[in-house]
């Protein structure tokens, strides 16, 4: 098969492909295809050929989408880099991924030049005095669209780096097509669908959207970043039918009190646990939330719940997607009975063939039941999945296993709590001591006694935090997930102070 866009542009050239919220510009599939052909020709003029790795350091905007499909047109592999990383982190990622070229924009040019080493840098924006080459200045070469097989690497996408250094995940053409199909079997596809992408496209949740829209022949609406008021406005203005968010964004959308349009038929919410309160708030506001569990290695979703199922059972992420198998295993790697907790292993056509150039990591990550996710959870009798926490986050105190996610959820349900992280801190007596970093709501008085009253009866004695530290914010990784290593350090310092 040719690249996804070329195939789509032949099938429905006149349909709306892309809308840019910032500029108001729109492209049909034919127009996008023509623009992509020019970009591909310019990349070819810079020497990019089949199987090359092309880095992209941009925030969400049409030029990013053009690069996604232009790299595909050449049969090359896309390597999106996280624009929020430091130049040193970027340099490490650039080296690991064997880039031949790094594309940037005006805002990321300085970082790209620092991180690129000997790799040429090219900007999608106007010339500046930094001397960086400008992609648009090249005369495009004629290119013959590459043929793809399911095994070819379409992208290398770095994980978020929550548990260590980000890992480059190989995503094949087959993975992307399978993930788009499986997702559609849960979310459905309608001809007039318009999916808002306000997430970064250097993460799976964002990158999936233009890829899937091209497969479905539906419209991708781009917004440069999330902002509660602006995103609510964009949803309404562009008659969006879908949007992907992480739970904190959805929480802000609901609190912003902005009217969400009636056109909205799915809000795909993943990347972190969706607090049950948030599901309840969605039910009250009529927001069609689809709580979802996914990871980069699974080309996005692993399991997704539909709204009605979520409202009646807010703890679950629903059933695994069609074609995805989730096996819960014990410490020895053997499957456990339904209802029992263990590590989640996943297999199926959406699962990566492995991390790029990492035989040792791959040998450790893949076993007889597929990829070991490092996440802990269980299935119920109806086959619904529950994700509790990461294996590495589990706290063992006085010989008891404590699920930090569950403790955090109980604390978060206190109305005066805005955010919370629960970690284990080494303790000579208990092994680990359960410690909570709590961010109170602005201007609200909150103390330990109030929290104790709240969790009494809701949490077992051994799970109740021994230490509570009130903080202004939680440490986060460049991807926005709670940086648990830093959280643990802060918790340790707080425990020492008390």
Contact residues for ligand ATP, defined by CB under 6 A: 159-164, 166-167, 203, 270-273, 292-296, 317, 373, 375, 387, 390, 481
Q: How far is the CB of 384 from ligand ATP (least distance, A)?
A: 13
Measured CA to CA, the distance from residue 95 to residue 111 in angstroms comes to 15
Measured CA to CA, the distance from residue 387 to residue 379 in angstroms comes to 9
With CB under 5 A, what is the number of residues at the site for Mg ion?
1
Q: How far is the CB of 457 from ligand ATP (least distance, A)?
A: 25
Toward ligand ATP, which CB reaches closer, 41 or 161?
Answer: 161
Measured CA to CA, the distance from residue 204 to residue 26 in angstroms comes to 24
Toward Mg ion, which CB reaches closer, 344 or 411?
Answer: 344
Toward ligand ATP, which CB reaches closer, 159 or 241?
Answer: 159
Q: How far is the CB of 434 from ligand ATP (least distance, A)?
A: 19
Toward Mg ion, which CB reaches closer, 172 or 296?
Answer: 296
Q: Output the CA torsion sign for 193, 197, 198, 203.
A: positive
Indicate the length of the chain as a whole number: 498
Toward Mg ion, which CB reaches closer, 75 or 270?
Answer: 270
Q: How far is the CB of 294 from ligand ATP (least distance, A)?
A: 5
Q: Output the CA torsion sign for 486, 256, 448, 464.
A: negative
Q: What is the DSSP letter of 60?
A: S
- Binds 7: which of Mg ion, ligand ATP, none (CB < 5-8 Å by kind): none
Q: How far is the CB of 302 from ligand ATP (least distance, A)?
A: 8
Q: Taking a C-beta distance cutoff of 8 angstroms, is the pair 134, 116 a contact?
A: no
Considering only 156-164, 218-226, 238-246, 320-328, which stretch makes contact with Mg ion by CB under 5 A?
Answer: 156-164
Considering only 155-163, 185-193, 226-234, 266-274, which stretch makes contact with Mg ion by CB under 5 A?
Answer: 155-163
The gap between the terminal CA atoms of the chain, to the nearest Å, is: 63
Q: Which of 159, 183, 341, 464 binds Mg ion (CB under 5 A)?
A: 159
Q: Taking a C-beta distance cutoff of 8 angstroms, is the pair 206, 199 a contact?
A: yes
Measured CA to CA, the distance from residue 410 to residue 403 in angstroms comes to 11
- Binds 317: which of Mg ion, ligand ATP, none (CB < 5-8 Å by kind): ligand ATP
Toward Mg ion, which CB reaches closer, 3 or 375?
Answer: 375
- Binds 300: which of Mg ion, ligand ATP, none (CB < 5-8 Å by kind): none
Cβ neighbours, 10 Å, residue 325: 14
Q: How far is the CB of 92 from ligand ATP (least distance, A)?
A: 13
Residue 479 zone, left/alpha/beta (φ > 0; ψ -120 to 50; rest): alpha
Toward ligand ATP, which CB reaches closer, 195 or 293?
Answer: 293
Question: Which residues within the stretch 256-275 sit at the binding site for Mg ion (CB under 5 A)?
Answer: none
Cβ neighbours, 10 Å, residue 413: 16
304, 279, 277, 313: which is closest to 409 by C-alpha? Answer: 277
Q: Which residues bind Mg ion (CB under 5 A)?
A: 159
């Amino acid at each position: 098969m040719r690249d996804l866009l070329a195939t789509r542009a032949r099938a429905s050239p006149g349909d709306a492909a892309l809308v840019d919220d910032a500029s108001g510009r729109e492209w049909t599939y034919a127009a996008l295809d023509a623009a992509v052909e020019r970009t591909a020709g310019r990349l070819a003029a810079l020497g990019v050929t089949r199987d090359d790795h092309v880095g992209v350091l941009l925030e969400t905007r049409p030029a990013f989408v053009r690069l996604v499909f232009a790299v595909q047109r050449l049969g090359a592999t896309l390597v999106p880099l996280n624009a929020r990383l430091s130049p040193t982190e970027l340099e490490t990622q650039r080296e690991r991924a064997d880039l031949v070229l790094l594309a940037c924009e005006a805002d990321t040019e300085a970082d790209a030049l620092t991180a690129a080493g000997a790799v040429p840098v090219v900007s999608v924006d106007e010339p500046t005095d930094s001397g960086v080459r400008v992609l648009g200045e090249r005369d495009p070469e004629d290119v013959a669209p590459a043929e793809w097989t399911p095994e070819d690497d379409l992208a290398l996408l770095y994980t978020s780096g929550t548990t260590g250094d980000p890992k480059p995940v190989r995503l094949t053409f087959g993975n992307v097509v399978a993930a788009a199909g499986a997702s559609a079997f849960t979310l459905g596809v309608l001809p007039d669908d318009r999916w808002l992408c306000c997430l970064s496209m250097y993460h799976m949740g964002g990158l999936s959207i233009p890829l899937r829209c091209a497969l479905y022949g539906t419209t991708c609406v781009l917004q440069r970043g999330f902002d509660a008021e602006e995103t609510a406005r964009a949803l309404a203005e562009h008659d969006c039918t879908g949007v992907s968010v992480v739970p904190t964004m959805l929480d802000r959308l609901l609190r912003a009190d902005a009217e969400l349009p009636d056109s909205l038929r799915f809000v795909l919410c993943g990347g972190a646990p969706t607090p049950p309160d948030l599901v309840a708030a969605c039910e009250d506001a009529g927001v069609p939330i689809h709580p979802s569990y996914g990871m980069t290695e699974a080309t996005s979703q692993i399991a997704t719940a539909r709204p009605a199922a979520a409202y009646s059972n807010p703890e679950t992420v629903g059933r695994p997607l069609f074609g995805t198998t989730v096996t819960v295993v014990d410490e020895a790697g053997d499957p456990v009975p339904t209802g029992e907790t263990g590590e989640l292993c996943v297999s199926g056509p959406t699962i990566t063939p492995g991390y790029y150039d990492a035989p040792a990591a791959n040998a450790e990550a893949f076993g007889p039941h597929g990829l070991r996710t490092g996440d802990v959870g269980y299935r119920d009798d109806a086959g619904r999945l529950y994700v509790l926490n990461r294996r590495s986050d589990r706290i063992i105190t006085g010989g008891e296993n404590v699920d930090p996610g569950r403790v955090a959820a109980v604390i978060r349900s206190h109305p005066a709590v805005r955010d919370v992280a629960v970690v284990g801190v080494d303790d000579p007596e208990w092994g680990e001591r359960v410690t909570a970093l709590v961010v109170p709501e602005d201007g609200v008085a909150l103390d330990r006694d109030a929290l104790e009253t709240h969790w009494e009866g809701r949490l077992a004695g051994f799970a109740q935090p021994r230490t509570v530290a009130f903080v202004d914010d939680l440490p986060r990784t460049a991807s926005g997930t709670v940086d648990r290593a830093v959280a643990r350090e802060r918790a340790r310092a707080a425990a020492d102070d008390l």
